[in-house]
Structure 1
Amino acid sequence: MKLNRVLDLIKTNEAFFDKCREGKKYYSNKNDILEKGVCSTSKESVGDDVLRHADNRVTHSFHPLLTDEKASYMFTYEPIIDVDDNENNVNSVVNEILGDNFSRKLKNLCIESTNCGVAWLHYWIDDKNQEFKFEKVNTEEVIPITDSSLEKNILEIIRYYDVSEYIDEETTAKKVYRYIEVWNDKEFTKYKLDAGATVPVNTETYTHQLGRVPFIKFANNMNETGDLDKYKKQIDLYDKVMSGYANDMEDIQQIIYILENYGGQDLDEFKTNLKRYKTIEVESNQIQGKGDFRTIQIDIPVEARKVILEELKKQIYEFAQGLQQDIESFGNASGVALKFFYRKLELKCGVTETEFRGGISELVGAILRYKGIEYKKIQQTYTRNMISNDVENAQIAQQSVGVVPTKVILQNHPWIDDVDEALKLLDEEKIQLENSLEDEYQISNEQPIDNINTQDNNLNDITAKDIKTEAKEEANKTLNGAQTQSLISIISQFTSGIISEGQAINLISIAIGIDKEKAKNLLNGVV
């Protein structure tokens, strides 16, 4: 692409870039009230106006609070990535490259897209050690060039930024240069220009082996608009009302003294006499008439301001789809009640998540191409940072065993960050349990029932069918062959007096995956 066209595109997109800067300005709590004031006039223009001298400009950080609330809710816990059901242990390869800061980078992308409407992630291969790197770039530095298809595939990316550099190695003087990079799927050209110039000081072209334009878009929503547009006017009015109230507190004295034919020389003497002697002197004459002193009390309207501020605050959180405010306590609320509390925030984050899923899949795909790994599907499981009812979650997970695959349960378990590691630990525990049963009770899980030695005649009549029936009736549990043999082994040792009832209950609970209460009922039902 020719440089003159690039410069024209940069100029054309200035309005969008200004919108990005506005979102970031409000995120830094630098609201418009700081520039305009209550009366949209500067302090200099107010001058010595007797009625209006105070110029308080109070900002309120609603936007950063709502933005951080959204970002922390979505990405305090990074999504769990699963490629082709972890075939050939590919998940560990991906997670190693994503690194420990993946959650932080996603959080920053979320904040950027919330402020600007869209965020951009740039990835590259480091020249020093050939490692895969990726990082967020400022939205106001990026211009995408797409094709005319409905999918809007990216053909090129223009990135520009200003850098202050030393003129030479000898002096401390600096000069601002503008760098412009034009990327495609094979190479990028880098221009260096003086600030405001149209002719480059230097031009270099580099090739890359990434196979695609190495920029990934993370949109905030379908329209790629920031959240500030939804409630900016309400924040501005809130700032204006509060700043105006502060001005009134300074400008308007609650008591005004009215003096007629005051006998003193100046107001300072009047205030001194009033403070010291609690009296003042007034004069009367035929020309000016009788002297007088009285006061007027002015009441600043407080209630009206309270009403409008409360209404504005409600509107801000309503339009921003933020969490309810001023909620004292939910107590021991159920999972449904807690989800209702988060409903608006969840709807807003759900829209952003649908946009981010595509970006994350594209990033993981780039990592797999870098590693030369072929893949078919990439799954993502998200965990929200929210208050939850741990008792209900534990019960749901426990009741899902045997109905829902173990991997799915672990993917949705709030305590699990690494599903593959959890599955590995479960397999290790299963092996340890089987070895423990064989070593401690000297009975194999494959040993026929007829060979079990017992001193309890009642156990001789127990069959595998009886065990399975009791398990179904007492514990609502369907047993496989290995679980049936393990259960018979434990019951045999209990009836023989080798282990206590408590030990038997614990072993049954572990062996077939039920709670201790059901294990006790099962033991009593069989024996």
Structure 2
Amino acid sequence: MYLSYQDFIAAKDKGQFINQFIKFHESTGAYKEALRADKYDAQENETILQFQRVYYTLLGQKKIDNFSSNAQICSNFFHKLNTQRCSYSLGNGVFFNDMSVKDKLGKQFDRRIKEAAYNALIHGQSFLFWNVDHVHEFPFTQFAPMWDEDTGALMAGIRFWQLDEQKPFKVVLYEVDGYTTYSAESKFGELKETAPKRAYRQIIETANNLEPEIIGEENYSSLPIVPMFGNKRHISTLRGMQSKIDAYDAVQSGFANDLDDCAQMYWLISNADGMTDDELAEFRDRLKFQHIAKAEEGQVQAYTQEPPYAARKEFLTQMRSEIYEDFGALDVHTIAAGATNDHIDAAYQPLDDNADDFEYFVGDAIEKILELAGIDDEPQFKRNRISNEKERTDMILEAANYLDEETILKKLPFVAPEEVPDILAKLDEESYNRYTEPIEPDTPEDNPEGDE
């Protein structure tokens, strides 16, 4: 059964309902997929790590193969591709028309936004909490949202965490009219209120050098928690990518297993029908360590195998290309050295298309944070991309006669946006000094002839 904000309002025992809601949250497919995405993000690819080689006996019994190689090689595609998409839009931070806005959003604003955006990609959604003058980020694996049945708006939410199974289970309930903290001795144990509901903002006054005193509290007009989605479907980027990553890892691991197994030497002994298995094992060990043995009347011949190589290498190359193409990422190996900007732009097109969609949702979340903070501005993104900088610079300089200084500086690839105001200020100062410096009259030494 789906639980909503209306169910929370109707619940008589809030502590019991909070435990019930967290259990419901952890039972959802989205939550389980988010946990699985965290494993792939940590290069602990679930499928390949759980793989176990087996064999079948002559009677058809399935048994675990403990003798053959079982390499478990996990690729890092998931982390690398999500990092590329996130850093492409947010690697340079967030910019505003008024750069002083950043000072009002806290020193860690860019970092928190990037963390939230990355979690929104791998989990499908994350949450930003505007806490008076700075931002906190809540991942989907630690925050259970309560959606309104009628409007679909986020009306409340539960932040929950536990450092260890032996440590207390901590819960914070966020509502429009304030937040309440709870604690239990164990997860899903009886929740006890550790601090009563309080407002999100406190009005503090200090008079006559006394200790600061809380003289009032107030809330925001809406819940100060904003959802950030990674895409329009609100799903993890692992969806659809896991099967391809698993296939790549399986072939790569199988290739390593074959290299190991085929590197072993096999011995065929003729006229040895009377030797028992123990005697054969003893004969093999003697060859392995002493490299010499008596064959009596029999004949001993060594064999090795060549592992299949070309087909697997071609498969891995093709699968890598499909992973990048399906994710809409840039494979830098496809860009030749010295490529023109036209070729570079063409290679970037899939990444640009996905960035347009991604930045829409990131920008929407930031705009809601600005609204909560009472700031009238809009976010801007400078994409972090490689280019033929000499070609771009030459093009800008050719059009310099038709552009103002600020536009030229903003377009130059090697000038960061935050450097533009300082450069313009220095140019204005130099221009002012050039036209205001007094002209010294000529001295006799400067005009020895006495010419007028």
User: Quick check: 1:38–1:244 contact (8 Å CA) kept in 2?
Assistant: no
User: Quick check: 2:54–2:64 contact (8 Å CA) kept in 1?
Assistant: no
- What is the aligned-residue identity percentage? 19
| Structure 1 spans left out of the alignment, 5+ residues | 126-131, 165-173, 284-290, 443-527
When normalised by structure 2's length, the TM-score is 0.76
1:31 corresponds to which of 45, 56, 67: 45
Residues 300 and 350 of structure 1: CA distance in aligned 2, closer, same or farther (over 3 Å): same
By percentage of residues, which structure has more helix?
Answer: 1
Write the distance in 1 (CA, Å) between the matches of 2:389 and 2:288.
Answer: 69
Write the distance in 1 (CA, Å) between the matches of 2:422 and 2:293.
Answer: 91
Write the distance in 2 (CA, Å) between the matches of 1:144 and 1:338.
Answer: 42
User: Quick check: 1:156–1:184 contact (8 Å CA) kept in 2?
Assistant: yes
Q: After superposition, what is the alpha-carbon deviation per residue over 1:297-333, rounded to whole angstroms, capped at 9, x for unaligned?
A: 43322222212222221111111112125346330x3
Write the distance in 2 (CA, Å) between the matches of 1:330 and 1:34.
Answer: 36
Mapping for residues 42-441 of structure 1, pairs under 5 Å = 52-82=67-97, 86=98, 91-92=99-100, 94-125=101-132, 132-148=133-149, 152-164=152-164, 175-203=166-194, 204-208=196-200, 209-211=218-220, 212-252=222-262, 255-262=265-272, 267-269=281-283, 272=286, 280-283=294-297, 291-327=298-334, 329-331=336-338, 333-367=339-373, 369=374, 375=376, 378-398=377-397, 413-418=412-417, 422-423=420-421, 425-426=423-424, 429-430=427-428, 432-437=430-435, 439=437
1:114 CA displacement = 1.6
User: Quick check: 2:109–2:135 contact (8 Å CA) kept in 1?
Assistant: no
User: Quick check: 2:48–2:250 contact (8 Å CA) kept in 1?
Assistant: no
User: Quick check: 2:182–2:191 contact (8 Å CA) kept in 1?
Assistant: yes
Amino acid paired to 1:138: P
Give SS of 2:198's match: strand
Q: After superposition, what is the alpha-carbon deviation per residue over 1:414-452, rounded to whole angstroms, capped at 9, x for unaligned?
A: 455456x7347535634642552354679xxxxxxxxxx
Write the distance in 1 (CA, Å) between the matches of 2:282 and 2:144.
Answer: 65
Give the length in aligned residue pairs.
397
Give SS of 1:225's match: coil
Q: After superposition, what is the alpha-carbon deviation per residue over 1:18-39, rounded to whole angstroms, capped at 9, x for unaligned?
A: 2111111111101114531253
Residues 200 and 106 of structure 1: CA distance in aligned 2, closer, same or farther (over 3 Å): closer
Residues 59 and 3 of structure 1: CA distance in aligned 2, closer, same or farther (over 3 Å): same
1:222 CA displacement = 0.6
Give SS of 1:228's match: coil
When normalised by structure 1's length, the TM-score is 0.66
Residues 53 and 8 of structure 1: CA distance in aligned 2, closer, same or farther (over 3 Å): same
User: Quick check: 2:179–2:199 contact (8 Å CA) kept in 1?
Assistant: yes
Write the distance in 1 (CA, Å) between the matches of 2:343 and 2:280.
Answer: 69
Residues 195 and 281 of structure 1: CA distance in aligned 2, closer, same or farther (over 3 Å): same
Superposition RMSD in Å: 3.3
Write the distance in 2 (CA, Å) between the matches of 1:139 and 1:273.
Answer: 59
Residues 100 and 158 of structure 1: CA distance in aligned 2, closer, same or farther (over 3 Å): closer
Amino acid paired to 1:323: L
Write the distance in 1 (CA, Å) between the matches of 2:368 and 2:110.
Answer: 16
